[in-house]
Amino acid sequence: MDYWSLNPYVGCEFGCSYCYARYTHRYVVERAHDNGKLTDSEFADFRGPHGWEAFERRIFVKEQIVGALDADLKRVPLGETIVIGTATDPYQPAERRFRLTRAVLQRLSRCEGLSFGIITKSPLIARDRDLLARIQERNELQIHVSLITADPKLARRLEARSPIPAARLRALRQLVDAGVNAGLIVAPVLPGITDSVAHLDTLFAAARKAGALFIHAGALRLYAAVRDRFIPLLGQHYPELVERYERAYAKQAGAPREYARALARRIQRLQKKHGFTQNDGMIDRYRPSRVPTQGELELRGSLF
């Protein structure tokens, strides 16, 4: 990766059906079993036909993370980027009890000359705006509040236990009002579900109203570890899309190139409409390899 990745927790209670990080449980569980910390029956429970449930319901807490971070910081050169929350949400419900993310930020507040990014769906991040403002004084900082829809019913369908959209937008406003560099990340955009002009336009307008300083978006990546969770949900709520998803993602995890380019063009138009500058950002990992040309797909309705 082009940056250092930091995740205080493994697994995520929010349970987003499309989450690409479900495979992370596999590595932790296998290590725990090999080290005798999991019995054979517990190991089988994690790896059963519904093993994806463990990602949402069995959260691993890295209680020694600050000590490990201290050691790793000695190897991080000036100007490098550290992104918190690349795999699981650093402000999920466990954070209220264990406060590991706040402890990490307290340690990072002593750093200078680095770049930090945070990705979260949780309004709990507003709790730490004092620390974030302090970190920003001597480092580059971007806070990406993750939101794929402004529709609370749709959010509940796709993200089983995530905070409602209005709460995330309020937290975004609190961060910006505190002087923190914060915006929205719309990732993933779900083909045929959340990619229409009307849907995205509503979301961009909500971001602007909440004071977002930037907004980035990118299409779904459907890794093998995610299919067992996401495809059945499609069958339940969007049966007409199942075959199209299976065909589109048959040979790769990323969205088809033509679709990704067309979506990028739509996003750029909406950024311009709502007054957002086209800033790639330190962790804009969803940007396609090139800007689409004028001659590429004319976009109306869903792209899928």
Phi, psi of 293 (to 5 degrees): -85, 165
Query: Does the pLDDT of residue 298 top 90, yes or no?
Result: no
Is there a domain that residue 291 lies in?
no
Stretch 277-281: mean pLDDT: 61
CATH number, domain containing residue 268: 3.80.30.30
Is there a domain that residue 126 lies in?
yes
Per-residue model confidence (pLDDT) at position 26: 79
Is there a domain that residue 178 lies in?
yes
Is there a domain that residue 82 lies in?
yes
pLDDT band at 242 (very low <50, low <70, confident <90, very high): very high
Residue bearing the bigger pLDDT, 54 or 35: 35
Mean pLDDT value across the chain:
89
Q: Which domain holds residue 83?
A: 4-273
Per-residue model confidence (pLDDT) at position 21: 87
Per-residue model confidence (pLDDT) at position 121: 98
Per-residue model confidence (pLDDT) at position 110: 97
pLDDT band at 282 (very low <50, low <70, confident <90, very high): low
Tokens 């069958």 belong to residue: 235
- Structural domain tally of the chain? 1
CA distance 15 to 154: 14
Query: Does the pLDDT of residue 43 top 90, yes or no?
Result: no
* β-strand pairing of 115-120 with 140-146: parallel
pLDDT band at 234 (very low <50, low <70, confident <90, very high): very high
Q: Which amino acid is at 172?
A: L
Instruction: Count the alpha carbons within 13 Å of 248 in the hemisphere toward its beta carbon.
Output: 23
Stretch 139-153: mean pLDDT: 98
Q: Which amino acid is at 100?
A: L
Is there a domain that residue 117 lies in?
yes
Query: Does the pLDDT of residue 63 top 80, yes or no?
Result: yes
CA distance 124 to 122: 5
Stretch 282-293: mean pLDDT: 41
Per-residue model confidence (pLDDT) at position 46: 72
Contacts (Cβ under 8 Å, ≥6 apart) of 140: 114, 115, 116, 282
Q: What is the DSSP string of 78-132?
A: TT-EEEE-SSS-TTSTHHHHH-HHHHHHHHHTT--S-EEEEEES-GGGGGGHHHH
Report pTM: 0.89
pLDDT band at 300 (very low <50, low <70, confident <90, very high): very low
Q: Specify which residues 51 forms β-bridges with.
A: none
For residue 118, give the nearest of 179, 169, 172 by alpha carbon.
172
Phi, psi of 119 (to 5 degrees): -120, 125
Q: How large is the C-alpha radius of gyration of the chain?
A: 19
Per-residue model confidence (pLDDT) at position 303: 64
Stretch 213-241: mean pLDDT: 94
Contact 142, 117 (CB under 8 A): yes
Q: Is the dihedral of CA 53, 56, 60, 66 positive or negative?
A: positive
Is there a domain that residue 252 lies in?
yes
pLDDT band at 295 (very low <50, low <70, confident <90, very high): very low
Per-residue model confidence (pLDDT) at position 217: 96
Q: What is the DSSP string of 240-265?
A: HHHHHHHHHTSS-SSPPHHHHHHHHH
For residue 187, give the nearest of 283, 107, 302 by alpha carbon.
283
Residue bearing the bigger pLDDT, 104 or 28: 104
Is there a domain that residue 290 lies in?
no
pLDDT band at 291 (very low <50, low <70, confident <90, very high): very low
Stretch 22-41: mean pLDDT: 84
Q: Which amino acid is at 105?
A: L
pLDDT band at 50 (very low <50, low <70, confident <90, very high): low
Query: Does the pLDDT of residue 276 top 80, yes or no?
Result: yes
Is there a domain that residue 278 lies in?
no
Per-residue pLDDT tens digits for 156-204: 999 989 999 999 999 999 999 999 999 999 999 999 999 999 999 999 9
